Amino acid sequence: MLSRRLFITAALIAGLGPVTSVCAQQTVTVALDWTPNTNHVGLYVAQAKGFYTEAGLDVQILPYTDTAAGTLIANRVADFGILGSIGLFTQRTAGADLVATYAIMQTETGRLVFNADRADIHSPKDLDGLTYGGFGSAWENALIGTIIRHDGGDGKFETVTLGTSAYEALANGAVDFTLEVYTWEGIKAELEGKAQRAFRYADFGVPDQHTNFIGSSRAYLEKNKNTASAFIAATRRGYAFAVEHPQEAAEMLIAANSDVLTNRPLIEASLKALVDGHYLQSPAGAIGTIDPAKMEAIGDYLFKAGILRDGDGNPVGERPDFAAYYSNAYLADEK
């Protein structure tokens, strides 16, 4: 099934057709992790502002498919892609050729959330015995268990796997709590007047992390170092522009995806939250830089929780060398 999906994806990419350029630009393909959203704003700004063209690149953002971007990268279907932090660590540990080259988020965007009118929930230990609307990953169970136990609870709760319908289930009271990305689902709830309260992971024993990255494969990076550096540098310019000019960046993102990005207030509010909350750029000014301490901390957490498994699905017995999972070498003028 996977090889068939990869074939279909490759056919979609081929269907984009050749791009002619008098400058013989180098083509770079990028796979998204979801339909276009504010996390991807730097890519679309770099296209609209001509940063890629100036760098001698023809960057093609591939049509989103249900095959993970990490799988497309590791199988040489895409040159770069958007990688979730947990996906990077689990896929790389299992043998996938993946390397993070740019941290989109400088700090965790996720949070554990519940309806604001829940008078019975004061701190995480009150979640013991309640029902979680989840997404079906081992990471969620470890994360929530840690948060509850850190507050003195047992870490025992019921789980109903719902996927994205968990947010509707939370709103109508069918589940007691869920996990959400504050800068998207959280902002959407605020705009819709759905009052929520939340617990930040890092406040309750879970290491802070870069929520997602732009990554590639070691094989591609070794053969295309100059192209990779040019792509990351131009992309970084795109994200930096978005930080300085969020309203204009939102316009560019919407213009490039007018068929799917129809909720303008959500896009604008989400991008504002990303900027104001220092997600795209740290308070110290870092944009794109991967923090080694954060990588070691979350990697160690995942290893000790038994989430990292080898290619046969068995928990790895030795702590991996997490320094090999990422590289800042392709960032220009690193801060």
State the pLDDT at residue 7. Answer: 43
State the pLDDT at residue 14. Answer: 44
State the pLDDT at residue 23. Answer: 52
State the pLDDT at residue 333. Answer: 58
Residue type, 164: T
Cβ–Cβ < 8 Å for 98, 73: yes
Angle at 66 between CA 61 and CA 71, to 5 degrees: 75
Cβ–Cβ < 8 Å for 210, 103: yes
* DSSP string for 172-230: TTSSSEEEEEIIIIIHHHHHTT--EEEE-GGGGT------EEEEE-HHHHHH-HHHHHH
Listed in sequence order, the residues at least 6 apart from 34 whose beta carbon sits closer than 8 Å to its beta carbon are: 64, 82
- Per-residue confidence of the chain (335 residues) as pLDDT tens digits? 444 445 444 444 444 443 333 357 999 999 999 999 999 999 999 999 999 999 999 999 999 999 999 999 999 999 999 999 999 999 999 999 999 999 999 999 999 999 999 999 999 999 999 999 999 999 999 999 999 999 999 999 999 999 999 999 999 999 999 999 999 999 999 999 999 999 999 999 999 999 999 999 999 999 999 999 999 999 999 999 999 999 999 999 999 999 999 999 999 999 999 999 999 999 999 999 999 999 999 999 999 999 999 999 999 999 999 999 999 999 975 44
Give the H/E segment covering residue 247.
helix 246-256
Stated pTM of the model? 0.91
SS3 103: strand
Packing angle between helix 264-276 and helix 246-256, nearest 10 degrees?
A: 140
Compute the distance between CA of residue 97 and CA of residue 99 in angstroms, rounded to an integer.
7
